[in-house]
Amino acid sequence: MKKRNLLVVGILLAVIVLIAVIAVKLPQSRTIEADAPAVTVSEAVTEEPRVTEAPSAQPSADAQPTETPGTTEAPSVQPSADAQPTEVPKVEAYLIITVQGNIYEPLPLTGEGTFTIRQDETTFNTVHITPTSMWMEHSSCDNQDCVEQGVVSLENMTSRVLYNMVICLPNQVSLELHTPETLMDVFGLTP
């Protein structure tokens, strides 16, 4: 029985050391490299993450509107007489994706869906999101530790070993779930 207890304590110490190493390395890896790998997000996500250093509440001065291929002007929509105004859903959570040290713009979680972060033909991670949670659904890595880390939700993120994160070390991908308030704190912004 004592040997088993020592083994459990040893494993817990190893996990704590791993978390400490990750915590020390992550703030240093928050740099954007010019020759970043191509990362695509597809399937059920409406916005594609973009490389950024901090979220922006205001559009930049050089921002250009995007056009839908094949159209030259936006169609006009007339509300019907009995139409009720629709409420814009409040964003409760954001997802920050980091791939090989490159941080992508926070993704507001407004619906449920699955998307794939593809680095090349053999390296990918599939993420499932809901308005208040996320988890790694599948990964091309051998050990699948990131998949086994389970669901990160607004309710359980403060009680998890990795707090608000899911990390795939072999693919160098990390996912962070944030509330609007913690997102402001992470990037040092004021509301």
Each residue's pLDDT tens digit, 42-66: 433 434 443 333 333 333 344 343 3
Q: Report the pLDDT averaged over residues 142-154.
A: 96
Q: Is the pTM here over 0.85, yes or no?
A: no
Report the half-sphere exposure of 94 (CA within 13 A, side-chain side): 19
Domains of the chain: 36-50+90-191 (2.60.320.10)
